[in-house]
Structure 1
Amino acid sequence: MNTSNNKTYQQNVIIPNPLGFHARPATQLSKLVKKLDAPVFLENSDGKRANTRKMFELLGLGLASGSVVTVISESQEALTTVVKAIASGLGDDLSPAKGNPAKDSQSKLLWQPQGDIICHQGVAASDGLVIGKIMHYRQQHFALPDTVGTVAEETAAFRRALQAAEETIEAMRQAASEKASADQSEIFAAHLSLLDDKDMVADTITLITQGENAAKAYKKVSDTRIAELSAVDNANIAARATDVRDVRNHVMNALLGIDARQFHVKAPVIICAEDLTPSDTARLKPEQVLAIITALGGPTSHSAIIARGMGMPAVVALGNKIRAIPDGSTLVIDGNAGRVYVNPSDEQLTSAQQAKEKLQAALAKNWARRMEAGQTADGTLINISANVNHPEDVPAALDLGAEGVGLMRTEFLYLERDCIPDEEVQEKTYRAMAQAMQGKPLIIRTLDIGGDKEVDYLGLAHEDNAFLGIRGIRLCFERPDLFIPQLRAICRVAKDFDNIHLMFPMIGKFSDWQRAKALLDDVREEIGAPVFPVGVMVEVPSAALLANSLAKHVDFFSIGTNDLTQYTLAMDRMHPLLANQADAVHPAVLCLINITAQAAAKHDKWVGVCGGAAGDKDAAKLLVGLGVRELSVPAPQVATIKAVLRHYTLSELQTLAQKALALGGAVAVRELLKAHH
């Protein structure tokens, strides 16, 4: 097996991922092995081998849950690292996969029609009951040019298209990160890895050198990959062909100068397609699309994940028979049961409408109360705010019940530009945010660049461990040319709006606070702005441990649970082996939150949380029980978090929190939370 003199090591490992070795764990493994000092290969039971640095080769192995795969390397250390990574699940939830939703669909029916009706059974992908007209959506086809430039011209055109596609996908990833969920953001991160596949790039350039133009060459290579994945005998992995098609479409659009496809309809419709790419789904507007039904796909497809995140009912894997339903036909979609009913009678339509209204009435209870103040069952007020970065997103957040903006990430002013935003640009944005808030509090976080957020044009030195390097307030101290203009812009707005709050990120020492506050006070006095609330983020364990000293001086604390968790547990939240263990409900993290809350209460200050734990329905209960009085969450989660807290008294949540503090790990806490309903 090894023809060189080097010794080869190998070890078997079982694939633990309930959905098999699909795109996201493959992406994480590919990233991991690129940092190792030796190649590592995987070999399936049929003897097919894949280089772990190559996404398509990994997916082509068709590794299902429970498959035994052999890890092979000339480095014992690299082999051990990969075996442990695979065994850990590479960030996947290793809870047993749920059964086929169609098997127990009868108990999940949202509507039971009487009499004969055409019914197509598929797989439930996103819950809901809707009635509407069908509109067929066809896959994108490309008219390929026959003209061919020189090899240099075609290669350059291909490189430009790759860059344009990367920028488009990165923009979608950032939008998902800001407005949706980590799952959705990871989907587009996986797409970036697919785009960066070195073999696909090399194969395309080879065809170009053989006389093909860039468009024909790339389409031929990508279509081959799509066909290979579609043929894999594993539904979850075969579904990744849609992801490759999505990436292909971005590149082809750039090569051919085509704008991304948009949906234009006069009235909301039910979209019917053979399949939808994640980008197609993300571009759908809820006001235009009632539901999605597809012939292919599965409940774990990336489009299904995005549909669930948008609250859009979806049924997948219905088969090609649905493609024969005439445009304009009336459908009833039961997203819970995975059923599609075609052309109901008048009586059936009335019955379905009644069922829909009954369901909506139940859901509307939470929606109707979204504008009420967040509070526990016994009336303890809990401010439920939203994480919002852009002024144009504020009205929607307020309409969803947000009581303020608990986190405005100002680094997006930098990430979305190719040059440093000057004082005037920043002031315009902060002023628009403050005005849009209608008097509700706006908490602006000063620049937090570094770690996982890089800005090439700032010319920052590369750091081997950026999360422990020059980031947050440390960067602001090193770069007053960035920090002072931002403080000036904020203070200029604070002269005219009394809802401005400011907080400094990555405070690790009391002297950090003193220095930052002194710089702010100098700027504020120079501009003539009034005193306004200023706080610090608790992201570093030292800040929590110094909370009693800080609480004497700050106006509030805002806990960033994402960073606090990774620094407390010494687990990189981006690490493929450790990310799924970096849980903010770990008792060690809860202990630091408890220390912070007690110090704040002692000095009559308040504590908020703007990290991911705030929007976690279970974790939110613990946070309130520990003394947190403000939760800043993604805007669509505001009503849900308010509804959860209304079910419990403060004393009940305090008792729950104390029980969690006494446990030994995050898994035990999650079990406690699961039993608490």
Structure 2
Amino acid sequence: MTITLELLAPFSGPAIPLERVPDPVFAGLMMGDGLAVEPMSSTLLAPCKGTVGQLARTGHALTLIADGGVEVLIHIGIDTVKLAGQGFRPLVAVGDRVAAGQPLVEVDLDAVARRAPSLQTMVVVADAERFCFTGRAEGWLEAGRSPLLTLTAREAASSGASADGPEREGEAVVGHEGGLHARPSARVQQAVKAFASEVIVEFGGKQANARSVMALMSLGVAERDTVAVRASGADAEAALAAVVAVLETHSAAGHAPVAVHAAPAVAGRLAGVAAAPGLAIGRVVRLDVFDMALPEAGAGALAERERLSAALRAVRERVQHGIDAALRRGATAESDIFAAHLALLDDPELLAAAERGIDSGAGAGLACRLAIRAQCAVLAGLGNQLLAERVADLKDIERQLLVAMYGEPEQGPALFDASILVAEDLAPSALTRLPRAKVAGIVTAAGGASGHVAILARALGIPALVACGPDALSLTPGQALILDARAGLVNPRPSEAELDDAAVEIARLAARERALQASAKGPAITLDGAAIEVAVNIANADDAREGVAHGADAVGLLRTEFLFIDRREAPTEDEQTEAYQAVLDALDGRNAIIRTLDIGGDKDVPYLQLPPEPNPALGLRGIRTGFAYPDMLDAQLRALLRVKPLSRLRILVPMIADVGELIRLRGRIEALAGEMGLAERPQLGVMIEVPSAALLADQLAKHADFLSIGSNDLTQYTLAMDRCNAALAARIDALHPGLLRLIAIAVDGASKHGKWVGVCGAMASDPQAVPVLIGLGVAELSVSPRLVPEVKNLVRGLSLQQCRGEAERLLALNSAQAVRARITELWPAA
């Protein structure tokens, strides 16, 4: 029997196509097809007769089972699950039979509008591919009267799932904030689509097909609830593992928070997240979203595939040229970002999706755009700020491919002598194409402090404010601004007096920077004569040269994993030796600490089949990975032992937990050096980044030549807070007294054997931490190249004797906030 169903408008208000909804899950049709309405009435009415199959505990969403089994989801507003029911009063219950036009939920529109990103209400039909949408409303709708959607069922088709094969069972503790609401359910559905097996999720005596978002939501699963998962079919084991992983992945109910880094609101000012510090005066140049018009139909699959291949080749060549040019200029951050783009161009999933679009009749450009934007929607909807910030990179790839296919649609923007670039978000290539001398600052509505544009801005010394919200897009071309990224504020209408004051301050800062640079090559000696080594953290020889130019005394950390990532096989021993030797050659006689490979945790390489781990930060990483792959470790150690002179080399070992691991590694170095006939040995150091290493520093120092504190990991392991979790960002502070006590223990343990201790984590770059570290007995600080002059200048104004006495008293305080408050009193310039 053919099913025809008419859905009526649930609210009065204008109809809105789903693709215009500000939520990538709905806009990408991941939940199904349908329409949205901007509510202008306060009572949600049933769009058809049926049974209430699901009602969210928070009242913001429900599912109607219409005649014929059609599932209709109604979702009121965007991110409204986080309101915990405030503003919603359900008038029905699960199982109730309702008539078309019957009131379902009363909504306090004002209360919800103040706390949610949008009131737009989505009406979505599950399994939309089973229906033809023969009618879609446009314009103004009257609740309960105007037709919204008309749909007719296609012929029944198999879902593609297969129950033939083995059956596997498991459990998952749901990690999604708010439980299995719309977004997490859609992610589960997406995960299942990759498999042929049938997957069932069970909870509270009910079960749901994991391919049905509506069914999953109807289970009423909350965060931290335990659900049973059952998979049956030829690939049941893999399907079970994929669904369990998605269910247990933590995601926030709304957008990833950035408020912890944002400036407080100031009347008449635009506030945002300070991505790159600085002060600038300039005029607005709008870099609006790139949206080239594209032909829908292709000239045949063969021709369009070749068009896509040619574009990929051209862009790969251009990106590789960008990498080479950046490396020649010593622009390491820029080259790393281009390398990430190169990896995206080689992504098999994106390519396969584009080719499927071509095979269905689309032109290469449209197929490419749809494939990339579908991936953008997935990333933006995952609730992970770092992944969401990669959307700009994908859009940048889209722009470059389309230009390669069809040519540049328009000339670049006209720049002022001092331009403040304003955009929704900014693509890295858009920034690197513009003359640096004319770019005074950056302001974006979206983005984050860890995005690639933010990294580039910091590397280029361009003040940048991101995540300013939609108000940033109200800035008009040519408008004069004062951008104070230090305070996280934009003054959009500065007075002449404010412009004059800002110009004076900019000149003062520039003069100070020149003065610091002029004295940077001298040693950093405290007021009472203690020398502190100020070194640099680097990734390659170009960084080393930049460090020397800024006055670095040595290399405090060379991260060798940059040699291993973004490639299909491990670097050879010769490649490694060449890279390590180039660093030493760039240092003009200075020493270099080179860390052995730190792969695992948040850093992965495709050619190592590292096992999946429920908690990678506590799993196979650092030296543990080296011991698990002894051939790779031996190759790196041999490469290091081949550099000349070995007297300037210091090998640093990551993630050491006890002295047995250190003795094992030293024994391996001795054996290899003996095989190579070497009379000289490099120094060997231990990275103190797990609490056990700090507590056992006296044992480690007996067998090590030095210790280096990796404060980033030591902080997260000491506080048991994931340093990638944006919700905890305000609480993850290396000046926590617990961490300071561990550092004191490590320094004391090292001193028993006459060994020195350095700090190579972000703590060494924190001006407030510098006097504390010196007072605790730290002898070396390793920072980014541009910070060397600043840190040296700070050290020269400190008294070691005062630092020691005050650091001892700081250990008795009870919080990081108390420590920072006291530091501000003692060293206000820090």
Call closer, same or farther: CA 1:416–1:221 in 2, change over 3 Å.
Answer: closer
- Counterpart-to-counterpart distance in 2, 1:37 and 1:464: 12
**Comparing both chains, which one has the higher relative contact order based on Cα–Cα distances under 8 Å and sequence gaps of 6 or more?**
1
1:400 maps to 2:547: no
2:716 to 566, 569, 584: 566
The structure-2 alpha-carbon separation of the partners of 1:130 and 1:663, relative to structure 1 and needing over 3 Å to count, comes to closer
Partner of 1:552: 702
Deviation (angstroms), 1:539:
1.6
Are 1:427 and 2:427 counterparts?
no
Counterpart-to-counterpart distance in 1, 2:424 and 2:57? 42
Query: Which consecutive residues of structure 1, in runs of 5 or more, have no partner in the other structure?
Result: 23-34, 56-70, 106-120, 228-239, 326-330
Cα deviation, 1:112-167, whole Å, max 9, x if unaligned, reads xxxxxxxxx99999765668999887865646355344499869969x98xx99xx
Question: Match of 1:98?
Answer: 263
Pick one of 639, 652, 657 that aligns with 1:503.
652
Cα distance in 1 for residues equivalent to 2:703 and 2:399 = 56
1:218 deviates by: 5.3
Q: Distance in 1 between matches of 2:420 and 2:671?
A: 57
State the Cα deviation string for residues 407-451 of structure 1 (Å, max 9, x = none): 111122111322111111111111111100111110011122112
Larger radius of gyration: 2
| Residue 470 (structure 1) shift | 2.8
Unpaired runs of 5+ residues, structure 2, are 1-45, 60-80, 85-113, 118-170, 189-216, 228-246, 378-386
Q: Tell me the distance in 2 between the aligned counterparts of 1:660 and 1:52.
A: 48
State the number of aligned residues.
Answer: 594
Q: Is the 8 A contact 1:388 1:408 kept in 2?
A: yes
* Residue of structure 2 equivalent to 1:251: 398
2:263·2:273 contact (CA, 8 Å) conserved in 1? no
Question: Is the Cα–Cα contact under 8 Å of residues 526 and 799 in structure 2 kept in the other structure?
Answer: yes
Alpha-carbon distance change, 581 to 201 in structure 1, aligned in 2, over 3 angstroms: farther
Moved more, 211-220 or 312-321: 312-321
> What's the counterpart of residue 522 of structure 1?
671
Alpha-carbon deviation of 1:385?
Answer: 0.9
Equivalent residue number for residue 802 of structure 2: 652
Once residues 260 and 374 of structure 1 are traced to their aligned partners in structure 2, the CA distance between those partners, rounded to angstroms, is: 54
Q: Please, what is the CA RMSD of the aligned residues?
A: 5.7
- For each residue in 1:452-484, what CA deviation from the matched residue of structure 2 results, as whole angstroms up to 9, or x when unmatched? 211121223333333333322222223221111
Deviates most, 461-470 or 437-446:
461-470
Q: Give distance in 1, aligned partners of 2:759 and 2:254.
A: 29
Task: Classify the secondary structure of the residue corresponding to 1:430.
Answer: helix
> SS of the counterpart of 2:642?
helix
Identity of aligned residues (%): 32
Q: How does 1:258-657 map to 2 (within 5 A)?
A: 270=419, 277-280=426-429, 283=432, 288-292=437-441, 297=445, 305=454, 309-310=458-459, 311-313=461-463, 323=477, 338=490, 357-494=507-644, 496=645, 498-525=647-674, 526-575=676-725, 578=728, 580-657=730-807
Q: For 2:531, what is the secondary structure of its paired residue?
A: coil
Contact 1:607 1:628 in 2 (8 A): yes
Structure 1 residue 403 displacement after superposition: 1.4
Query: For 2:593, what is the secondary structure of its paired residue?
Result: strand
Q: Once the two structures are superposed, what CA deviation does each residue of 1:32-78 show, in whole Å capped at 9, x if it has no partner?
A: xxx965696879xxxx97558679xxxxxxxxxxxxxxx99722344
Partners of 1:570 and 1:321 in 2: CA distance: 42
Distance 1:20 1:492, change over 3 A: farther
Q: Distance in 1 between the 2:750 and 2:540 partners?
A: 30
TM-score (norm 1): 0.69
Residue matched to 2:103: none
Distance 1:79 1:555, change over 3 A: same
Q: 1:650 to 1:614 in 2, by over 3 A?
A: same
2:176–2:223 CA contact under 8 A, matched in 1: no
Q: Contact (CA 8 Å) 2:258, 2:726: kept in 1 or not?
A: no
SS in 1 for 2:583: helix
Looking at structure 1, the residues matched to 760 and 698 of structure 2 have their Cα atoms a distance apart, in angstroms, of 20
Residues 297-329 of structure 1, C-alpha deviations (whole Å, 9 max, x = no match): 48978698557624324689787886469xxxx
1:28 corresponds to: none
Q: Partner letter of residue 593 of structure 1?
A: I
Q: C-alpha distance in 2, partners of 1:438/1:129?
A: 35
**Distance verdict in 2 for CA 1:368–1:100, change over 3 Å:** farther
Q: Which residue identity lines up with residue 251 of structure 1 in the other structure? A: E
Higher mean displacement: 570-579 or 2-11: 2-11
Partner in structure 1 of residue 222 of structure 2: 76
State the alpha-carbon separation in 1 of the partners of residues 631 and 398 from structure 2: 38
Q: Is contact 1:125-1:335 (8 Å) kept?
A: no
SS at match of 1:440: coil
Whole-Å separation in 1 of the counterparts to 2:223 and 2:552: 50
User: Any idea what SS the aligned residue of 1:455 has?
Assistant: coil
Distance, in Å, in 1 between the alignment partners of 2:680 and 2:560 is 22
What is the CA distance between 1:80 and its match in structure 2?
Answer: 11
- Does the C-alpha gap of structure 1 residues 284 and 6 become closer, same or farther in structure 2, counting only changes over 3 Å? same
What's the secondary structure of 1:406's corresponding residue?
A: strand
- Supply the distance in 2 between the matched residues of 1:598 and 1:399 (Cα, whole angstroms): 34
What is the letter of the counterpart of residue 98 of structure 1?
A: A
Give 1:561 shift: 1.5
Which region of structure 1 is more displaced relative to structure 2, 333-342 or 521-530? 333-342
Deviates most, 566-575 or 134-143: 134-143
> Structure 2 length normalisation: TM-score?
0.58
- 1:147 aligns with 298
Q: 1:515 to 1:355 in 2, by over 3 A?
A: closer
- Alpha carbons of 1:402 and 1:419: their partners in 2 closer, same or farther (altered >3 Å)? same
**Relative to 1, partners in 2 of residues 1:497 and 1:438: Cα closer, same or farther, differing over 3 Å?**
farther
Deviates more, 1:622-631 or 1:94-103: 94-103
Report if the CA contact (8 A) 1:101-1:123 is conserved. Answer: no
In structure 1, C-alpha distance between the alignment counterparts of 2:500 and 2:177, rounded to whole Å: 59
Contact 2:690 2:714 (C-alpha < 8 Å) held by counterparts: yes
Distance (Å, rounded) in 1 between the aligned partners of 2:405 and 2:433:
18
**Deviation of 1:263 (Å):** 9.2
For 1:146-203, what per-residue CA distance to the aligned partner results, in whole angstroms no more than 9, with x for missing partners?
Answer: 5344499869969x98xx99xx89x99xx9xx9679xx99xx99xx99x99x9x9999
Q: Judge conservation of contact 1:535–1:555 (CA < 8 Å) in 2.
A: yes
Q: Aligned letter for 1:247?
A: L
Partners of 1:124 and 1:578 lie apart in 2 by 18
- Kindly state the Cα deviation for residue 375 of structure 1 after the two structures are TM-superposed: 3.4
CA distance in 2, matches of 1:468, 1:37: 19
Alignment check: 8 A CA contact 1:492 1:527 kept: no
User: Residue 156 of structure 2 aligns with which residue?
Assistant: none
Deviations 1:265-302 (A, max 9, x none): 999864656666142466368854441367x7489786
